[in-house]
Amino acid sequence: MDGRSTEEVVRFTLPFYLPGLDKTQPPGDYLISFDEEPIEAGSHLAWRRVATFMYLPAISTISSIRQMVPINPSSLQAALAKDQKQI
């Protein structure tokens, strides 16, 4: 069985920075893509995340160029938690 990709939109209400990005990003909605591969867990099928990407710029930004940047999922979760804490 082949891998799969799933997507999720995350919202930042304040400017944020993630390791691996060139600069601080503006607030907005960002598309996150997760690449996963199947693993067998007994008689059940499970998925293991093997890569996480963020699409830049924000979805609402008018731009003809989109960049897909690899990010660390734990850094993303930490940045989202920090953003929510500051609201």
Q: Is the peptide bond before 57 cis (omega within 30 degrees of 0)?
A: yes
| 87 pLDDT above the threshold of 70 | no
- Among 1, 6, 15, 11, which residue's Cα sits nearest to residue 53? 6
Query: What pLDDT, on a 0 to 100 scale, did the predictor assign at position 79?
Result: 97
Contact 52, 75 (CB under 8 A): no
Q: Which amino acid makes up residue 41?
A: A
Query: What pLDDT, on a 0 to 100 scale, did the predictor assign at position 85?
Result: 92
This prediction's pTM: 0.86
> Tens of pLDDT along 17-59?
999 898 999 999 999 999 999 998 788 888 999 999 999 999 9
- The radius of gyration of the chain from alpha carbons, rounded to an integer in Å, stands at 15
Contact 26, 13 (CB under 8 A): no
Q: What ranges do the domains of the chain cover?
A: 4-85
Residue 77 — pLDDT band, cuts 50, 70, 90? very high
